[in-house]
């Protein structure tokens, strides 16, 4: 897809899962997921990110069969209406979703798997490479870096060099094997990510670090914190914002983009 030149694209989050950290269970059946996707399109989404496996800290992995059952009907239907990315760590799910009409693989495991690289290469699809230290079950136990910004950036650039996809996005992976201080260091330095040749995607929506910075606000009460951080990301040159709250995010982006 062609990214808007004058504002970040808004990627609506569509979790077809019973256990995602903020909207788990709300759109777990394909019918309600498709309806929610349509609502996000009406509210100004530029693309939708369909996922069938929660990656929240401690989440249990889902079988390939179950993940396919959750996401493929949703991808097939919504790809007729809007660009779709598939949020998966499984090469077979990525391949099936691309066949069903998705244009990009959002791989939160950051193209660690040769098989995933082969899927993207063969389809010449888009890919978003996200950085994660460890895996979802263990990643928040004791994340450690000498220099988080340098290490995450180096990882993303190295992996981006491993594919010839026509559309490569990078994502520092806020909350994925990172402490509050690690997240803040990355956010302070977003311009270093934005200075690479690759568009930067960022997901801060409703994440736990926003709860921590707002006196322990619960997950359904993190909108102001989310919008504040997304505005900062927009100013720092982020090209794609991954969001739960479509209408509010789109309005905030449109107002800020009026400044040019
Ligand atoms: N965050 C989540 C999932 N996928 N993909 C990218 N590229 N960047 C992110 O920051 C990101 C992501 C986690 O959020 P969510 O989908 O709301 O929850 P869950 O993983 O529990 O389904």
pLDDT given for residue 228 in this prediction:
98
* Ligand 1 near 54 CB (within 6 A): yes
Distance 174 CA to ligand 1 centre (A): 9
Model-level pTM? 0.97
* C-alpha span between 229 and 210 (Å, rounded): 9
* Ligand 1 near 46 CB (within 6 A): no
* Ligand 1 near 208 CB (within 6 A): no
| Sheet with 47-51, edge to edge strand ranges | 168-171, 126-130, 104-107, 84-87, 47-51, 9-15, 240-243, 201-202
Residue 178 is a catalytic residue? no
List, for residues 75-87, the tens digit of each pLDDT value: 999 999 999 999 9
Query: In the predicted model, what is the mean pLDDT of residues 20-35?
Result: 87
Query: In the predicted model, what is the mean pLDDT of residues 172-190?
Result: 97
pLDDT given for residue 256 in this prediction:
98
Query: In the predicted model, what is the mean pLDDT of residues 229-249?
Result: 98
* Ligand 1 near 17 CB (within 6 A): yes
- Lookup: tokens for 110: 């950051």
Q: Identify which of 22, 104, 106, 108 to mutate to test ligand 1's pocket (most ligand atoms within 8 A of the CB).
A: 108
Which segments within 42-109 are labelled E, that is strand? 47-51, 84-87, 104-107
Distance 257 CA to ligand 1 centre (A): 25
pLDDT of 121 over the 90 cut: yes
Q: Identify which of 51, 89, 173, 198 to mutate to test ligand 1's pocket (most ligand atoms within 8 A of the CB).
A: 51
List, for residues 45-67, the tens digit of each pLDDT value: 999 999 999 988 888 889 999 99
Query: In the predicted model, what is the mean pLDDT of residues 163-177?
Result: 97
* Ligand 1 near 21 CB (within 6 A): yes
Query: In the predicted model, what is the mean pLDDT of residues 195-221?
Result: 98
Catalytic residue among 207, 222, 239, 250: 207
Residue 207 is a catalytic residue? yes
Q: What angle do CA 246, 250, 253 make, to 5 degrees?
A: 145
């Amino acid at each position: 897809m062609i990214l808007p030149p004058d504002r970040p694209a808004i990627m609506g989050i569509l979790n077809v899962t019973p256990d995602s950290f903020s909207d788990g269970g709300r759109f777990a059946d394909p019918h309600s997921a498709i309806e929610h996707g349509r609502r996000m399109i009406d509210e100004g989404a530029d693309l939708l990110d369909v996922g069938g496996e929660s990656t929240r800290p401690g989440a249990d992995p889902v079988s390939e069969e179950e993940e396919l059952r959750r996401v493929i009907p949703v991808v097939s239907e919504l790809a007729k209406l809007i660009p779709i990315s598939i949020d998966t760590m499984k090469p077979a799910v990525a391949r099936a979703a691309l066949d069903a009409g998705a244009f990009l693989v959002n791989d939160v495991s950051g193209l660690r798997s040769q098989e995933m690289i082969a899927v993207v290469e063969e389809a010449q699809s888009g890919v978003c490479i996200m950085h994660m230290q460890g895996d979802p079950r263990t990643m928040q136990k004791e994340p450690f870096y000498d220099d988080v910004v340098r290490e995450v950036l180096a990882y993303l650039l190295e992996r981006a060099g491993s594919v010839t996809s026509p559309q490569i996005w990078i994502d520092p992976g806020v909350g994925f094997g990172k402490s509050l201080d690690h997240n803040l260091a990355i956010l302070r330095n977003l311009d270093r990510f934005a200075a690479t040749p690759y568009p930067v995607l960022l997901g801060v929506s409703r994440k736990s670090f926003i709860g921590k910075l707002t006196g322990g606000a619960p997950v359904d009460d993190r909108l102001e914190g989310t919008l504040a951080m997304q505005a900062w990301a927009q100013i720092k040159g982020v090209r794609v914002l991954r969001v739960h709250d479509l209408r509010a995010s789109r309005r905030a982006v449109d107002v800020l983009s009026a400044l040019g």
